[in-house]
Amino acid sequence: MHPKDLVTQTFQSRFGRPPAHVALAPARVNLLGEHVDYNDGFVMPAAIDRATYVAFSPSGGQQSTLLAVDFNEEVTFTAQSIQTKTDAYGTLLPEWARYPAGVQWALQEAGLDAPEIQAVYASDVPRGAGLSSSASVEMAFAVAWQSLSGWELPPMRRALLGQKAENEYVGVKCGIMDQFASACGLADHLLLLDCRSLEWRVLPIPPQVAIVIADTSVRRKLTASGYNERRQACEDAVAVLSRDLPGIRALRDVSLADFNRLCGRLPALVEKRARHVVEEIERSRQAVGLLERGDVASFGRLMNACHASLRDLYEVSTPELDAMVEIAQGLPGCLGARLTGAGFGGCTVNLVEKTAAGAFAASLAEGFTRSTGLTPEIYICRAADGASILTN
């Protein structure tokens, strides 16, 4: 059953009436610009046609009731109880409930009305695969509360409130890219986001290509210490390079020419980490003109180079991700392939000629299983619109 029908029917069964509305917010995949967001770089995500669906109505009372179909769990909380991350009875909220509760909290912190709600939600976004299921939950609830309350915020403002919920309420120190893509997505387009200024624009995806996502089924294992070590290495590089390049604030400010001239001043491991970031930001800059000219073959080569850099310099790949990418790059119709997301498990993203996408997906799954013994999930996707209320 499609998630929209599932949440609608479950809402009717649970609350004895049809929902007032159904909200949708997509997951996202990042095609280029990996591990550059915290270096003030440029990212190139797309919202995809995998999403979280929320059937909802105003509760008419003093409590909100949420039913998560995917977990088969229900919680009840109030505007007061969420301040202490507890349900209406004083029990700590389960992790899944903290994402929607955190959105209500962030809206309240911003002085916006977020009335009590009855909601049922479900998703066809695989959890832990690096496609940002949590951001899609946050953005679906943000548009749900917007529709109930009468205020209206630009999509980027909703994204920032979702990020605040995840950073300060859930306690996950994510960047803005995931919520941004889920809120601001545009069908058949990539998004280009400047992570420093938050300025963004859309770039066309040529109609002859498909986005194919391949889930290795290996869940991400990027520990906080591994992430923090890489982030610290980037900060260390800026501190050293600023002696010769006064005024730089982040690796985004270091040209590739300057980096190559000065990289000998850096410790070997710091140089490797920083080189990935500087070169990846340069790849993102080059990619804009390529997409504007419709040169998807050259864009795909940048994706291939990104994977090699994540594997060899940033060292966030795994044998399973490398196998998936290597198999994909050898198949007919594949223009580019790389790991996507933080790494250490999860998915690869592949740019494939649309006419070859079906055969590519089947061959990739077969080859990966033969190589690793694992059974992957392969999704042929399209770039989708951002979070919205569905019309009945």
Residues with active-site annotation: 178
What does the buried/exposed string (b/e) look like for 57-81 if buried means 16 or more CB atoms within 10 Å of the residue's CB? bebeeeebbbbbbbeeeebbbbbeb
CA angle 268, 271, 272 (to 5 degrees): 90
CA quadruple 312, 316, 318, 323: dihedral positive or negative? negative
Q: Which residue has the tokens 């409130």?
A: 161
| Residue 126 DSSP one-character state | P
Phi-psi region of 33 (alpha: psi -120 to 50; beta: other; left: phi over 0): left
Is the CB of residue 183 less than 8 Å from the CB of residue 158? yes
CB atoms within 10 A of CB 391: 6
Tokens 């089924």 appear where?
A: 217
Residue type at position 392: N
Q: Cβ(72)–Cβ(120) under 8 Å?
A: no
**Please, which residues bridge with residue 191 across strands?**
202
**Host H or E run for residue 378:** strand 377-381
Sign of the dihedral defined by the CA atoms of residues 27, 71, 174, 107, in that order:
positive
Structure tokens at 277: 């970031």
Task: Indicate the DSSP class of residue 81.
Answer: G
How far is the C-alpha of 281 from the C-alpha of 130, rounded, in Å?
A: 21
Strand pairing category for 64-68 and 117-123: parallel
Q: Strand, helix or coil at 78?
A: coil
Q: Which helix (H) or strand (E) holds 120?
A: strand 117-123
Q: Give the separation between CA 354 and CA 267, rounded to whole angstroms.
A: 44
